Amino acid sequence: MRTAVIVAAGLGSRLKGRTEQQPKGFLEVDGSALVETSITKLRKAGFERLVIGTGYLAEHYDALAERYRGTFQIETLRSDRFATTGSMYTLFNLRSILDEDFVLLESDLLYEQRALTALLEDPRPDIVLVSGFTDSRDEVWVEVDADSNLADLSKNRDALGSVHGELVGISKIARDTYRAMCAVMADAVETTPKLDYEGCLVRVGRAGKPIPVMKIDDLAWCEIDDEGHLERALAKILPAIRAHES
């Protein structure tokens, strides 16, 4: 596997002033933008190509791709409908340039290298990565079936029959699975334009394609959607990542 994809079209409105002039993937933590930290980890893991689905202030990602020209292959593609659609449409919009297996990441993640290594070392073509409970106060809970395949997910814990772990926002997606996801989105684009990619994965799984779930209980990671997340990232998650990776 040589390709990674980052969905990065969102407005980042919960970060208010920090995203007025730049997308939230350019939020700096420990002196580096989140997206550049991801690029460093992707290159270390052996990835050769990064595709970024953009929207809000897309020119920042275009400039990033230009900076890496000749050293690392970055391709960007802007969704004109970013303001009224969800992450699955951003991924769907990449179908003209994406026709291979890939690892999918969200743009606002801070995570340890082990998240990528574990996915790449596992031979299964599809994997949704989950962690143990983080107490982040913004969890997406994941339910699995008897074979540890994705059964459902929700931000409402009571909506699930049981909880296996928390969605990390890093997944391994096979080409045929991506095509199935795009078929779902094509049917839903007018009725459910804000469908997210994880909800689409649930639909694909229910249609007969098992999506395995991998759990790393003590994985150090977080997403940064608001000021509280940023404070937690600096005070707790960044030190944990350093400790795990040292």
Tokens encoding 68:
């890496």
Q: 210 exposed, middle or buried (CB, 10 Å; 0-12, 13-18, 19+)? A: middle
User: Residue 18 has what pLDDT?
Assistant: 85
Q: Which pLDDT band holds residue 1 (cuts at 50, 70, 90)? A: confident
Residue type, 72: F
Mean pLDDT computed over 155-173: 96
User: Residue 100 has what pLDDT?
Assistant: 97
Mean pLDDT taken over the chain: 96
Mean pLDDT computed over 108-118: 97
Nearest-CA neighbor of 214 among 178, 171, 176, 173?
171
pTM, 2 dp = 0.96
Percentages (nearest 5) of helix, strand, coil residues in the chain: 35, 25, 40
User: Residue 180 has what pLDDT?
Assistant: 98
Cβ neighbours around 20 below 10 Å, total? 10
Tokens encoding 21:
């002039």
Q: Which pLDDT band holds residue 191 (cuts at 50, 70, 90)? A: very high
Q: Which pLDDT band holds residue 17 (cuts at 50, 70, 90)? A: confident
For the domain made up of 3-245, the CATH class stated in words is alpha beta
**Is residue 111 predicted with pLDDT exceeding 90?**
yes
Residue ranges per structural domain of the chain: 3-245
Q: Give CA–CA dist 159/154, Å, rounded.
A: 7
Tens digit of pLDDT for each residue in 137-149? 889 999 999 999 9
Least confident range from 8-17, 107-116, 201-210: namely 8-17
Q: Tell me the residue ranges of DSSP E strands in the chain.
A: 3-8, 28-29, 32-33, 49-54, 73-78, 102-106, 109-111, 127-131, 141-144, 150-154, 165-173, 213-216, 221-223
User: Residue 15 has what pLDDT?
Assistant: 81
Cα–chain-centroid distance for residue 158?
Answer: 24
Nearest-CA neighbor of 132 among 215, 212, 198, 213?
215
Quote the DSSP letter at residue 162. -
User: Residue 115 has what pLDDT?
Assistant: 98
Q: Which pLDDT band holds residue 105 (cuts at 50, 70, 90)? A: very high
Mean pLDDT computed over 97-101: 97
- For CA atoms 65, 92, 222, 246, the dihedral sign is negative
User: Residue 13 has what pLDDT?
Assistant: 75
**Is residue 198 predicted with pLDDT exceeding 90?**
yes
Percentage of the chain surpassing pLDDT 70?
Answer: 100
